Structure 1
Amino acid sequence: MPLVNTREMFKKAYEGGYAIGAFNVNNMEIVQGITEACKELQAPVILQVSAGARKYANHTYLTKLVEAAVIETGVPIALHLDHGNSFELCKSCIDGGFTSVMIDGSHLPYEENVALAKKVADYAHQFDVTVEAELGQLAGIEDDVKVDAENASFTDPAQVEDFVTRTGVDSLAIAIGTSHGAYKFKPGQKPQLRFDILEDVSKRLPGFPIVLHGASSVVPEFVEMINKYGGEMPDAIGIPEEMLRQAATMAVCKINVDSDLRLAMTAAVRKYLAENPSHFDPRQYLAPARDAIRDMVKHKITDVMGCAGKA
């Protein structure tokens, strides 16, 4: 089975009331951990690469790792560019074998966002590559995405139909209260997703796939583990998983997870090295890190996305 785009994935997810997990990848162990979980649970998956990950690991290395995962697992896998910030970057990924790209013009004035998204979609569709765009801005910091809280904005449902019609994009990321990174909310602040916005958007775009970014839940046990073995992470509050599961039963067909994977992997590495200070073979501490990634993804697929058995 070759790499696939997200079109059929999202159609089935929308009709089935579940979401596809979109997990960020940076190296071999992360790719293996994610796709081993998906093979075990027979779940489709989106492996997404940020601009920062592409700089770190090299486009060719990452695409070949993902192609190997297709061979090893046999499950539907889409290779997606996360937060592409220019036509040139999206074009490079399309030309280089990605099957899906995101063009993020959410920081631009509305008409400029429309023009940029349309340019990318027109190019991508020549190669059967699907395109995600974004309306509204999420606060937070993750890789190259940095948005101050005062510059964040909820998606305006009144704009979505015009935006999708004029751009021709295949899915739309909206801002309804999620946030990039681990530090999403201040201590004592209660996370709350704007389901009223999501419902309004879905009524205006019936059957159209919606995407949630910044949807890590920041599992407390991993923050505690990192601190126990030499870290200094303050308390972090993520998105309650029951809210994400509710969103997945509505119009949300793609839920992005990155910070939770980083926390699980880092906690496992720190724990191993603290308990085995004389060990220096990377295989020894990266193996439990890979296992932690696999277990986290299994949990997300089963308890949040609801896409187990949908491959």
Structure 2
Amino acid sequence: MLTSTIELLETARINAYAIGAFNIYNLEGVKAVINAAEALQSPAMLQLHPSALTYGKSPLVALCLEAAKSSLVPISVHLDHSTSEKDIQAALAAGIKSIMADGSPLEYEKNLAFTREMTKLSHENGAVVEAEIGRISGTEDGLTVAEYEAKMTDPQQAAEFVRETNVDTLAVTIGNVHGKYRSEPKLDFPRLAAIRRLVDIPLVLHGASGLPESMISKSIQLGVCKFNVNTEVREAYLDVLKSTNSLSSPDLLDVMEKSIAAMQSVVEDKLQLFGSCGKAWLHQNSPNGVLAFK
């Protein structure tokens, strides 16, 4: 069932688990996420990067929304990492009610102004907004300690940012990186705890691909209730395509089925890691709010 992102995250926050948000690009990705969520009775999110939105346009959005509506478990549809008002307007017009207005590449004041404007626009269209403060790298290589720490979210600044923009959820940077971790991940949990004390909205952690179970669990304990996953799911899909190169005439439907199964396996592993398995009933029993375990 199509569900509000804020309902998913608030219910997860109250009950100490996290929602897996998976970037998808086509029907196979959608089926992999929905199949995994239904198999494990877990809520989940379908995320569209602006590049996927540009590629698939409103038909891809319609596919995601219909798949969410038809699902037996709670699913929301979200525009990920959008730095463009044009993309946000296109997503809203296509029916997406969950937007990431990403001004993090900008200087703080410009990020504040962009996020404030996009939050107002999104709220006027009935959509919730995720923003980001701090700058998540694609890699930590080549940075000094001071440069690395400067990219992280400042707790006091985060509190000011939330007050000034009225965003609904906040992606934070505590040492997490996009893509693969080239060395052992090092997350700044004292920083996360300080942010949690000052910011009373759901927190999001990008770059969950490759984070060990202990760091996932600790992040959830400290208030993270949404993890973004892209790299590992995408790699599972590409590995299947690469494996067909040696076949003289592969059956296309067979390849698609194998790609769905490969991606579904990764999604299922992540849902188990995030602690959301078996939690679908919480959302199904709270259509107008959030529900905590008695």
Letter matched to residue 251 of structure 1: G
Give the distance between the partners of 1:162 and 1:44, measured in 2 at CA: 31
Letter matched to residue 268 of structure 1: V
- DSSP 3-state at the match of 2:177: coil
Give the distance between the partners of 2:258 and 2:7, measured in 1 at CA: 34
TM-score by length of 2: 0.88
| Residue 245 (structure 1) aligned with residue 245 (structure 2) | no
Q: Cα RMSD between the aligned structures?
A: 1.9
- DSSP 3-state at the match of 2:45: strand
Cα deviation digits, residues 56-110 of structure 1 (max 9, x gap): 2x22221122133124423222111111002222122112111100011112121
Native 8 Å contact 1:19 1:305 kept in 2: yes
**Any residues of structure 2 matched to 1:112-261 within 5 Å, and which?**
112-140=110-138, 153-182=151-180, 184-185=181-182, 189-206=183-200, 208-217=201-210, 239-261=211-233
TM-score by length of 1: 0.83
| Residue 270 (structure 1) aligned with residue 205 (structure 2) | no
**Any residues of structure 2 matched to 1:23-102 within 5 Å, and which?**
23-56=22-55, 58-102=56-100
Give the distance between the partners of 1:195 and 1:79, measured in 2 at CA: 29
Residue 221 (structure 1) aligns with = none
Residue 297 (structure 1) aligns with = 267
Give the distance between the partners of 1:209 and 1:148, measured in 2 at CA: 32
- DSSP 3-state at the match of 2:163: helix
Native 8 Å contact 1:105 1:134 kept in 2: yes
Native 8 Å contact 1:103 1:133 kept in 2: yes
Gaps of 5+ in 2: 281-294
| Residue 110 (structure 1) aligned with residue 80 (structure 2) | no
Give the distance between the partners of 1:244 and 1:114, measured in 2 at CA: 29
Residue 307 (structure 1) aligns with = 276
Give the distance between the partners of 1:149 and 1:278, measured in 2 at CA: 46
- DSSP 3-state at the match of 1:140: coil
Native 8 Å contact 1:139 1:148 kept in 2: no
| Residue 13 (structure 1) aligned with residue 12 (structure 2) | yes
Give the distance between the partners of 1:118 and 1:110, measured in 2 at CA: 12
Offset of 1:124 from its aligned partner? 1.1
Gaps of 5+ in 1: 142-146, 218-238
The total of aligned residue pairs comes to: 275
Give the distance between the partners of 1:252 and 1:68, measured in 2 at CA: 28
Residue 256 (structure 2) aligns with = 286
Offset of 1:127 from its aligned partner? 2.5
Give the distance between the partners of 2:274 and 2:142, measured in 1 at CA: 28
Native 8 Å contact 2:53 2:61 kept in 1: no
Give the distance between the partners of 2:189 and 2:59, measured in 1 at CA: 39
Residue 292 (structure 2) aligns with = none
Give the distance between the partners of 1:254 and 1:71, measured in 2 at CA: 21
Structure 1 pair 299/175, CA: closer, same or farther in 2 (3 Å)?
same
Offset of 1:273 from its aligned partner? 4.4
Give the distance between the partners of 1:240 and 1:65, measured in 2 at CA: 32
Give the distance between the partners of 2:230 and 2:143, measured in 1 at CA: 20
